Structure 1
Amino acid sequence: MIETLAAEAREVTDDLSPADLLATIKASRDLENTEAARQLALAARWADLHPPESIHTAASFTVPGSQHEEPIAGDGAPPVAVFCCAELGTTLGITTTAAKKLVGHALELRHRLPRLWAQVHAGAVPAWRARAIADTTIHSTPPLTVEAAGFVDAQVAAVAGRIGTAQLDRLVAETIKRYDLATADPTQDPEDGYLAVDPRHVTVDTDDVHYAGTLRIEAEVDLADALDLDRALAHHAATQQALGSLLPLDARRAKALGDLARTQTALDLLTGGPGQDRVSSGADEPGLPAARAVVIHAHFDASFSGDTTVFGPTGRMENGQRLVLLEQIQSWCADTRTEITIKPVIDLNTQLTAQAYKIPADIREQVQLRDRTCVFPRCTRPARRCDVDHIIAYDHDADAEGRPQPGPTTTSNLACLCRFHHRLKTHSPWRYEMTAPGVFEWTSPHGHRYRRDHTGTTDLDPPDPPDLAVPPGLPRPRRR
């Protein structure tokens, strides 16, 4: 189907002149912006259908861990029943967190940034830009009041949303000063206009791994810290060169940053310069932490050649399910004072069973290795940070009453669920079953069915597509 559509698209575009092609691309982008704006309106309507009042219909008490109301936008926007974001996310093919963000942005725009909301649906501001502004006003520190958000809305709307990140930060800082919001925090100086929004951060982009096995780090730090870090990196890079490193300067500085992260302040064979004594590596000195205080779960295929174990050139890291080179793992382990622990191989096809409700360490490890992540559709939280759930609930009274246990603690009845989706499964109509080892089928409250396995999430016999006619009260797509 996809190949057919791609071939038809090529046939259409091959006949277009350059001018017609540009016009077609622009029309496609206009349609994309129109549908993105409509999606925001539909997300807001979904929130309207799931207010906090929809949570408890038959009882006035709550069970610990059950659904609760959650404000996902700023002050003045209505809260929602938080479980509703899960089904919206699976329908859209995104995570629950991304769906919650979509609904939060829609409510923020509609209730606290109404001018920008109107401009989005008039086609003057693209939805992605409006969502970026809404995200900033939602997560402002200190929080923006309704009046302060209205001021930001008026200023942004005056320029039709053409505002960059730096300008928006300055606008929010000025708003905080104008409305005396910083005085609520005793650590903030009310005369400090732009410092009310602290720009410092260190961001490690773990979602974008280069083919060479590197990650991008972005940081905004204090001036003195930045200068100290620069001097430390320059010193370590020069030390590596003196020890014979042939890496370029940028690579040596990057390696030095890793050494600093591991508190590895002394290297083997390090000398202070001509005529100075050799400095000990400190390997036997008490009080120094291991060079690499980090746990890496890597899996490689192996075969035997005589008495020799031969590993494949590539493997998989559990965190993020990323490929890793055997050569890279070897270089990490060869560094100074690295602690290495090798765990025995666990057969994922063996059925392990325990007699009690508590899950033993060996069964937990097997389930985590099998599932890799939370098994809810679209969720990517690593299995080692998840709960291990009894798919069919364990009956604590079965043994005492002489009944067979309906939900035994066995591999075929256990699955990894992050805490949110564990609560969702326990306290909502969502249901799932394991159809094969590591393969799960989920059914949503509205009858949508999904298969979750190692390849990802697949929609199963989705309901008939709804009528695309625009519901009353929602903006209609603009026709060009």
Structure 2
Amino acid sequence: MAEFCVAELACALGLTARAGRLLLGDAVELSHRLPRVWERLQAGDLPAWRARRVAQQTVPLPPDGAAYVDQHVEAVAHRVGPAQLGRLVDEARVRHDPEAAEELRQARLGARHLDIGVHDVRADGTVAVEGVLDLADALDLEHAVRREAQALAALGCMAPLAVRRSMAAGQIARGDTPLDLVLTVHVAASALAADAAPGELARVDGVPGFVSAAQVREWCGRPDARVLVRPVVDADQHVSVDAYEVSDRLRHLTGLRDVTCVFPWCTHHADRCDRDHVVPEAEGGATCSCNVAPLCRRHHRHKTHGRWRYRVVDPGTYLWTSPHGYVFLRDHTGTRDVTATAGAPAAHPAPAALALAAAPRLSAPEEPSGDRASAA
């Protein structure tokens, strides 16, 4: 576009030249490389600040990467949070620009640090600790701190959990606790080969998002690492038990298949979820892989006491109905609002349109602080 038109447009809108450039840059990114998000913005059911946040994240991506984000964020653009959007952009970068992704990974590894403020002691004798760690190191540290905090409670320590965690760090530093830590990673065997193609991804149990296979190869190459290779579990197999209690095998299988709580939009990891009988046992429901799904405790209560209902379409695919008739389809790709196609009353409004502006304006107000919305 013409160089000097930016300043004129910015003045007409009451913006600085820099703000005008950013505004036009976001508009170009949306209209040319994010057509699905742009269409929602033009339709008036997506706030401008949310559309602009997506555009600002996708600018460094190649066209295929931007299209990947556009496809996967379209349905949840009205609610996706910064963390989830960041993970999606990182995934697009690894899939469609692996060289840039590897450069960024190495740069981030170079930024690791751990600062213990022993030279800035507070009057009450405490110091601040802050750092950036490798994921494997962070998970090992988290597991150790959690276990030691639990041990302190078992020994009679009445301090709050946060205080016990801080005490646990000292116990670990003094070598007062044995460590036997495990990192479970799901990755294709081909991704671990030295000549693996770039862009391979892996998933770490209990952690949102993904890591690159290159990172997994580094972990496996550490001299103190012991690697145990387990065979792939077929998530489509049928497992049944003749009891109400869910067996460890069935719990593991449903966790691998569904990954998270299967309530619409929930991202609570399956390892920390209850196992729910979709059709209750009292109504003839079996304890089997086609009738058991992970639900976090809160959403388990919604289903049991809150008049939410769901059914299994296929193993891993669930159709939910809310107390007021909203209908959501949840599968391995996330959650979709299918109220309009499920025969709901015509007067029933779409959830995405409940609190949106009447017309889109790219110069919408700043994003409200503290927004913690999440998406599957």
Structure with more relative contact order (C-alpha pairs < 8 Å, separation 6 or more): 2
* Structure with larger Rg: 1
TM-score normalised by structure 2 residue count:
0.48
